[in-house]
Amino acid sequence: MTRIAVIGGGIAGLSAAFRLEQKRAGGVEYALFEASGRLGGVIRTERQDGFIIEAGPDSFLSEKPWAAQLCRDLGIGSDLLSSRDHQRKTFILVNDRLIEMPDGLMFMVPTKLWPLATTSLFSLSAKLRAAQERWSKPRESGEDESVASFVTRHFGREMVERVAGPLLAGVYGGSAEKLSVRAVLPRFVTMERERGSLVRAMLEARTKMPVAQPAATPSLFTTLAGGMQQMTDAVAAKLAPASIRLDSPVRTLRRAGTQWTVVTGAGEQAFDAVILALPAYAAADLLGSTDSKLTGELRGIAYNSSITVALAYDAASIGAATRAKIEGFGFLVSQGGANKGKMLACTYVQNKFAGRAPAGKLLFRCFIGGAAATASMQLSDEDLASAIRGELRQVLGLNAEPLFTRVFRWPQAMAQYEVGHLDRVARIDQLVAQLPGLALAGNAYRGIGVPDCVREGAAAADRLLPPPTK
Ligand SMILES: Cc1cc2nc3c(=O)[nH]c(=O)nc-3n(C[C@H](O)[C@H](O)[C@H](O)COP(=O)(O)OP(=O)(O)OC[C@H]3O[C@@H](n4cnc5c(N)ncnc54)[C@H](O)[C@@H]3O)c2cc1C
């Protein structure tokens, strides 16, 4: 019998535990330790007055297959819900004005000349700069750099402030000045190395792609009919109840030879292997003196905090001018310029997914991240909701009284893949390989999104499982 401890009951730990559960008949026993009283980590869905409110992630990228596959394996594949891409438009808030992202902009690569020429998102000099990108030469140096420096080299500073920065802030709650281009935008680094110009590489890739049938084109985002928590609840329901230890923060982890001892308030338990599905700093705390080099590397991975604020409205209470502005999936806030609010992004939830708000009602999901989230963490729910209402008033002219507001705080929950991240992860992998029976998973290493965490959790379990007997 191989005994494996999974520490951390977010999606990464749940994915690992589900893999172990599938191997239980083959001589594997596991225990899942979770500090809080619930499973799911930052994935949490609440219901109020017919609204489905996402406290943490609201969906995942459809092109990454692992979360959707997990849902199919759990028997809830028929509840996968696509984003309403027919009304997908994203706006950028620039100096109190909402400007639609021009057609043909693939992340920050403008692939269509006419929309680039006619958009009011960029100044004339920025447009000329972007148009010249197709003559860029392949780069010799393979050194990592920040996303801001990479994008500036190709398209100029305005593309960072108005597109790349806001898009990444919405995903990482972090800054393009610090995020590593190799870790965050690896596809673009490859394009630059091979072709020089990202525009040319993108256009060539498109001509090589088979023409997709509209029905076969997946939506950009996927969620579940019952909300993201449907996925974590479904995993939890498949696990053996006796294996789940809620309200069990692990205090220490000790290693003696090939055995690992997990220490909680309830006592000590010995295991053959452990999966740390925790933020990197929490994994470092547990590993303590096991390996000071490893804990040093883990502590080197920075984290940001974030806050989501949900505001529900009666559509009838909102004036026509404001309603006309509530178009597409929502807006991202540009950097620099006159935008000085807390909010980085706002999603018009009912436009993005069906079934989130009752008929005639609207749900706004506002995202605060980075320094603004850290500075706002101690504010009361009332003060946070009031600040966000003030910003929505400014941007949309939204003066109506909300039906209700909800505030969710996520301290130190989003790993920041800063310049040099991939080298750090390679060093961590080497150090972990010297500690038999240890595996790491979670959003700190190879992808912050839910699908990446699902993949990482399952891969950690696979690494520790005994080889199949013939
Ligand atoms: C506000 C927000 C919005 C997001 N939006 C999206 C999105 O739309 N799409 C997307 O793909 N991704 C999104 N993400 C990212 C994604 O949700 C996370 O990266 C992912 O869910 C993290 O999963 P995890 O299991 O690694 O960590 P977590 O969910 O943080 O789970 C870690 C668990 O470990 C537990 N723990 C900590 N210490 C101990 C201990 N000592 N002993 C036992 N247990 C412990 C914690 O209580 C927690 O439950 C978002 C994240 C946030 C915060």
How does pLDDT run across 82-121, given as a tens digit for each residue?
999 988 899 999 998 999 999 988 888 988 889 999 999 9
For ligand 1, the distance from its centroid to the CA atom of residue 452, given in whole angstroms, is 12
In this predicted structure, what is the pLDDT of residue 206?
79
In this predicted structure, what is the pLDDT of residue 377?
95
Residues 6+ positions from 282 with CB-CB distance below 8 Å: 8, 276
For the chain, which ranges sit under pLDDT 70? 209-217, 337-338, 469-470
Is the distance from the beta carbon of residue 43 to the nearest atom of ligand 1 less than 6 Å?
yes
For ligand 1, the distance from its centroid to the CA atom of residue 44, given in whole angstroms, is 10
For ligand 1, the distance from its centroid to the CA atom of residue 327, given in whole angstroms, is 30
Q: Return d(Cα 113, Cα 116) in angstroms, integer.
A: 5
DSSP-H helix ranges across 55-197: 66-73, 113-118, 124-131, 147-155, 157-159, 165-172, 181-184, 186-195
- Reading the block at residue 72, the tokens are 């199919």
In this predicted structure, what is the pLDDT of residue 214?
55
* Helix pair angle (11-22, 66-73), 10° resolution: 50
In this predicted structure, what is the pLDDT of residue 469?
65
Mutational pocket test of ligand 1: of 61, 307, 450, the residue with most ligand atoms within 8 Å of the beta carbon:
450
Ligand 1: which atom is nearest the Cα of residue 14?
25
Say what the alpha-carbon torsion angle 424, 426, 430, 436 is, to the nearest 10 degrees: 100
In this predicted structure, what is the pLDDT of residue 300?
98
In this predicted structure, what is the pLDDT of residue 216?
59
Which residue has a Cα nearest atom 14 of ligand 1? 57
Give how far Cα 217 sits from Cα of 82, 112, 204, 212, 330, Å. Answer: 11, 20, 19, 6, 22
For ligand 1, the distance from its centroid to the CA atom of residue 209, given in whole angstroms, is 35
Ligand 1: which atom is nearest the Cα of residue 249?
42
The residue among 166, 174, 169, 146 whose CA lies nearest residue 304 is 174
Question: What is the value of pTM for the model shown?
Answer: 0.96
Is the distance from the beta carbon of residue 304 to the nearest atom of ligand 1 less than 6 Å?
no
Is the distance from the beta carbon of residue 448 to the nearest atom of ligand 1 less than 6 Å?
yes
For ligand 1, the distance from its centroid to the CA atom of residue 92, given in whole angstroms, is 27
Catalogue all structural domains in the chain, each as residue range(s) with its CATH number.
2-41+230-301+417-464 (3.50.50.60), 45-87+303-416 (3.90.660.20), 105-212 (1.10.3110.10)
